[in-house]
Amino acid sequence: MSRKNGILIYTPEDAARNRWFIEQLIHYAESEGMSLRLCLSDLRAPNYLIPAGTDFLINRSRFSKYSSYAEEIMKPPVPCFNSRFVTGVTNQKYMTYCVLNGEYGIPMAETWEYRRREPLAALQFPLVAKPADGHGGEGVAWIENAAALKQYAADFDAAHPEPTYPFLLQRPAVTGWDVRIYVLGGEIYSAVLRTSDTDFRSNFSLGGKAEVIKPDAEICALVNKIQEIMPLDFAGVDLLRSPEGGYILGEIEDAVGCRMLYQLTELNPAQDYIRYIRSRLS
């Protein structure tokens, strides 16, 4: 098999935070007989970052424009990990809700989208507010009453001057608890239970506790159903518990972080991801 040339796209901010993982991906690409070059996302057209002769794209920028260019414009199309469909849907949380819940019936918390200065409907509290494109628990807030919602909306507008930039409101799930399911090549790779006794968010990066678990049959069935709708090359599927019982989808992390896997397991996700990509290109 001829040597394959790949592009790895990160935002500058995420590249700085994930330098070690980037080095691991590049190292294992070389060991598998491939080249992988880091490119930082910017405001220019995608063709500046994805030159002719590119054989594959690992898009961890969360911007689907790069995958769309590679899959739809370039001739022949360039395989993307994850695909433009996955990146385009999962990094817009309300679209995730509309597609997976609205079109396919995947259980999720009831969700509303609000854009800047739109009137806020009378809703039953408490609620959870979050940016429509946030990740890692950033910008997520517990909304206890109408006054708190009004303040969150005002603060959000001040921080996001774009007139169409939205935030979301959701019915709360069971607080301080979720399961991060790592999916690699369409299969469950690992499962980590995250809990917090001090925060309604259970994110490991925010100080939550984490332990590896064996996913039960209900978790496996739900993840497999999601995978049938939206094939995932490497992503995190975050499941919550509904107050009424059973699991619901919280969100899907397209550019999933791997710190928990390295700290809690003997797995090598960078190597295994590269080997999976190599097998797909054969």
What six digits make up the tokens of 48? Answer: 């500046």
Both 85 and 123 in one domain: the answer is no
pLDDT over 60 at 206, yes or no: no
Both 256 and 193 in one domain: the answer is yes
pLDDT band of 207, cuts 50, 70, 90: low
Both 201 and 269 in one domain: the answer is yes
Higher per-residue pLDDT: 282 or 106: 106
Give one DSSP letter per residue of 249-272, joined into a string.
EEEEETT---HHHHHH-S--HHHH
Both 128 and 206 in one domain: the answer is no
161 occurs within a structural domain: yes
- Condensed to tens digits (0 to 9), the pLDDT of residues 226-262 reads 999 999 999 999 999 999 999 999 999 999 999 999 9
- Condensed to tens digits (0 to 9), the pLDDT of residues 40-83 reads 998 777 888 899 999 999 999 999 999 999 999 999 999 999 99
pLDDT over 60 at 203, yes or no: no
User: How long, in residues, is the chain?
Assistant: 282
Among residues 166, 152, 158, which one has the least CA distance to residue 112? Answer: 166
Both 53 and 85 in one domain: the answer is yes
Final residue of a structural domain among 37, 58, 89: 89
pLDDT over 80 at 167, yes or no: yes
129 occurs within a structural domain: yes
Instruction: Please calculate the CA angle 4-6-7 and round it to the nearest 5 degrees.
Output: 170
pLDDT of residue 44: 75
Q: How far is Cα 112 from Cα 110, in angstroms, rounded to an integer?
A: 7
Can you tell me which residue has the tokens 């959000």? Answer: 156
Both 188 and 221 in one domain: the answer is yes
95 occurs within a structural domain: no
DSSP 27: H
Final residue of a structural domain among 148, 170, 192: 170
Both 114 and 67 in one domain: the answer is no
pLDDT of residue 197: 77
Q: If DSSP codes are grouped into helix, strand and coil, which group holds residue 197?
A: coil
pLDDT band of 201, cuts 50, 70, 90: low
105 occurs within a structural domain: no
pLDDT over 80 at 19, yes or no: yes
Show the DSSP H helices in 114-195 as ranges.
Answer: 146-159
Domain that holds residue 126: 110-170
Both 209 and 134 in one domain: the answer is no
- Condensed to tens digits (0 to 9), the pLDDT of residues 110-146 reads 999 987 667 766 789 999 999 888 777 778 899 999 8
102 occurs within a structural domain: no
pLDDT of residue 43: 73
Best mean pLDDT range from 45-49, 164-168, 200-204, 256-260: 256-260
pTM above 0.85, yes or no: yes
pLDDT of residue 84: 97
Both 202 and 256 in one domain: the answer is yes
Q: Residue 194's domain is classified under what CATH number?
A: 3.30.470.20
Which of 159-163, 168-172, 228-232 has the lowest average pLDDT?
159-163
pLDDT band of 1, cuts 50, 70, 90: low
Question: Which amino acid would we find at residue 73?
Answer: I
Q: How far is Cα 53 from Cα 76, in angstroms, rounded to an integer?
A: 10
240 occurs within a structural domain: yes
158 occurs within a structural domain: yes
DSSP 44: S
99 occurs within a structural domain: no
Both 83 and 130 in one domain: the answer is no
Q: Residue 28's domain is classified under what CATH number?
A: 3.40.50.20
pLDDT band of 205, cuts 50, 70, 90: low
The number of domains in the chain is 3
pLDDT band of 150, cuts 50, 70, 90: confident
pLDDT of residue 156: 86
Final residue of a structural domain among 30, 55, 89: 89
Q: Residue 114's domain is classified under what CATH number?
A: 3.30.1490.20
Alpha carbon 78 to chain centroid distance?
A: 21
Both 51 and 127 in one domain: the answer is no
Both 228 and 250 in one domain: the answer is yes
Of all residues in the chain, the percent with pLDDT exceeding 90 is: 75
Q: How far is Cα 148 from Cα 82, in angstroms, rounded to an integer?
A: 37
